[in-house]
Structure 1
Amino acid sequence: MLKRFVAALGAVCLFGAAYAADPWPPRAITLVVGFAAGGNTDLAARILANSMKASLPIPVVVENKPGAGGTVGAAHVSRSAANGGTLLVASQSETTMLKSNRLKPPYDIDRDFVPIAKLMDQDYVLVVPASLKVSSWQEFVAYARAQGSITYATSGVGTTAHVMSEHLAKELGIKAVHFPYPGAAAFRADLVAGRVDFSIDVVPLSMQLISAGKLRPIAVTQKSRDQRLPNVPSLVELGVFAEQYAGWTGVFAPKGTPPEIQARLRDQVDQMLRGSGGQEISNNGYRPASPRQGASDFAQFVASDQRKWQAAFQRVGIQPSP
């Protein structure tokens, strides 16, 4: 009996030593989102968290740290330990657009982060409250020009919707007053209530309100019409935008995260995309990223996206904020 007990104790100690020697996973994983719950970035984080919980013997939680166009949460992760325990789930707003948007950003996406993998892509639609007497693109243009100044809502300064809205206003030759909110769920309530004139929001999160008759779709931002809104024209088709605007969501780790941990994090994303998580992303109206992403795939995409947004900011004329 004693020998069996000693043998079992030795096995436990060996397992504990092996686990302690393994740098990943840590005791818990936190996926930080720089926006309030209810948005597309939050959705992607929760799908990934659920997938990771199913395969890892540790807690995996999503923590929302909204504010300043997503940069509050991202800055928190940039200061975190580079051990794979605190990760950023982010969009282009707080990553590839930041250098064009802020003179003194609280972090540098190249210096302070390492891109891990893309999770999904998303498209956008220009919507107005049902109470606004506008039901087509032509009526929207006529209304905007008659008013001289119209209002729009976004989830923060320097976000994708901010750039697109300013680009739209420039092309129409009107003044558009920006009302930034800490998250998408908050501005949707005011949009539905008619407190702002329009918003450019992700298609899936707008569809329920469109179907309920609370919002009216006016135009989409991708190159061609969206199959979910076949009667709604594209701003590229209309000649307003020369190229499409689309968004994405991905995972970043603090700079200095060891390559072997980065690889294991990519494995978790791959497992999610090839499993029920990828289907859940599709079911929610987004396009899941390609699985089996290589070590440099997302990093190359991030570098290219930074160049694209730099050109977009210069074209629209948005000046970097302090």
Structure 2
Amino acid sequence: MPKLTRRAALAAPLLLAWPARAQGWPTRPIRLIVPFAPGGTTDVMARLVAERLGGLLGQAVVVENRAGAGATIGSAAAAQAQPDGHVLVMSNSTSHGVSPALYANIPYDAMRDFVHVALVATSPSVLVVNPGNRARDLAQFIALAREAGEIDFAVAGIGTSSHLAGIRLGAALGVKVNAVPYRGAGPALTDTIAGVVPAMLDSLPSAGPHIRSGSLRGMAVSSATRSARFPDLPTLREGGVDVVSAAWFGLSGPAGLPPAIVARLAEAVRAALSDPATIARFEELLGAPPPESTPSDFTRFVQAELASFAPIVRAAGLTPG
């Protein structure tokens, strides 16, 4: 059976079982908090998922952008919400990976204060520059960076995945990284396009359309293999830079969320990500279909990410700034 058909077939029985589970939920629109400004990858993925979930759950899923402090402001708001299933958060590699290691007084515990429902997407970074940049390809970018001894990068915020990817790139090249922080990938991309900052490492869904339009020039992707969406872009490793990194995005809710709601929400996410139109959209944005995960799978994943990011943050000597 073709993959799309098989995934859709697996999700179909779940839809039939919903009326018997989590009776009475949802009773009103669901707020999906995105802890970044509009326009970045977290926002793009959240809006795609929200649209699909709204139809499946029978209530609108409204995206609410609450940016700031390394994605901790919006995440804290979700952690403090009533655990009735009407407030969720688009958890991500910054809010539930890097920031807990970066901030000394973070207002939530990434494990204790949340129920982690499903991993929604993973995305490698793409190195982009303004079209006016002297670097026409990755080799020239590397040569210019080493000649200058430093590189200026727009980042979606201190401690974000784009920031850490930039730090790792600078370390691999042996040059200083000057991170210019913004309140999300959207504003950072805007200034990179305008030439205010010469370069950025951003996720494919937000940077990809600008590469296609020519408002940004793609240099390389941070994945282990080339992207099916941009097959002409080399990997950083192909350019002799040993850096592989990816951002991730998931759906989480406040601790205490009733198990019946968690189960129904997980089933809704699974059905949404199994829809052929959704799969096609993911492949268009990311060059790969969405992942499959259960709440227990995603919980273990978040725990592992927390453990992996902490030593990187310490080694880099990062502070919130």
Q: What's the TM-score bracket when you normalise by the shorter of the two chains? A: 0.7 to 0.9
The amino acid of 2:61's aligned partner reads: V
Q: TM-score, normalised by structure 1?
A: 0.86
Task: Output one character per residue of 1:24-44: Cα deviation in whole Å (capped at 9) or x when no partner.
Answer: 223221111011222221122
Q: 1:299: how far off?
A: 0.7
Q: TM-score, normalised by structure 2?
A: 0.86
Q: 1:184: how far off?
A: 1.6
Q: What secondary structure sits across from 1:94 in the alignment? A: helix
Q: What secondary structure sits across from 2:152 in the alignment? A: strand
The amino acid of 2:247's aligned partner reads: G
Q: 1:289: how far off?
A: 3.1
Q: 1:233: how far off?
A: 2.4
Structure 1 pair 47–229 and aligned structure 2 pair: CA distance change class (3 A):
closer
Query: Residues 77 and 254 of structure 1 are in contact (CA less than 8 Å); yes or no, is this contact kept in structure 2?
Result: yes
Q: Do structure 1's residue 41 and structure 2's residue 37 form an aligned pair? A: no
- In the aligned structure 2, how far is the partner of 1:221 from the partner of 1:313? 19
Query: Residues 30 and 60 of structure 1 are in contact (CA less than 8 Å); yes or no, is this contact kept in structure 2?
Result: yes
Residue of structure 2 equivalent to 1:300: 300
Task: Output one character per residue of 1:232-282: Cα deviation in whole Å (capped at 9) or x when no partner.
Answer: 32223344225x201111001101112111111101101101123333322
Q: Which has the larger radius of gyration?
A: 1
Structure 2 counterparts to residues 216-255 of structure 1, below 5 A:
216-241=217-242, 244-255=244-255
Query: Residues 272 and 278 of structure 1 are in contact (CA less than 8 Å); yes or no, is this contact kept in structure 2?
Result: no
- In the aligned structure 1, how far is the partner of 2:283 from the partner of 2:227? 14
Query: Residues 23 and 83 of structure 1 are in contact (CA less than 8 Å); yes or no, is this contact kept in structure 2?
Result: no
Task: Output one character per residue of 1:74-109: Cα deviation in whole Å (capped at 9) or x when no partner.
Answer: 111011001111000122111122222212212110
- In the aligned structure 2, how far is the partner of 1:38 from the partner of 1:203? 12
Residue of structure 2 equivalent to 1:321: 320
Query: Residues 228 and 287 of structure 2 are in contact (CA less than 8 Å); yes or no, is this contact kept in structure 1?
Result: no
RMSD, matched Cα:
2.2
Q: When the two structures are aligned, how many residues end up with a matched partner?
A: 301
Q: 1:310: how far off?
A: 2.3
Residue of structure 2 equivalent to 1:51: 52
Residue of structure 2 equivalent to 1:82: 83
- In the aligned structure 2, how far is the partner of 1:60 from the partner of 1:208? 25
- In the aligned structure 2, how far is the partner of 1:267 from the partner of 1:189? 37
Query: Residues 24 and 84 of structure 1 are in contact (CA less than 8 Å); yes or no, is this contact kept in structure 2?
Result: yes
Q: 1:320: how far off?
A: 4.1
- In the aligned structure 2, how far is the partner of 1:117 from the partner of 1:226? 24
Residue of structure 2 equivalent to 1:25: 26
Q: 1:143: how far off?
A: 1.4
Identity of aligned residues (%): 33
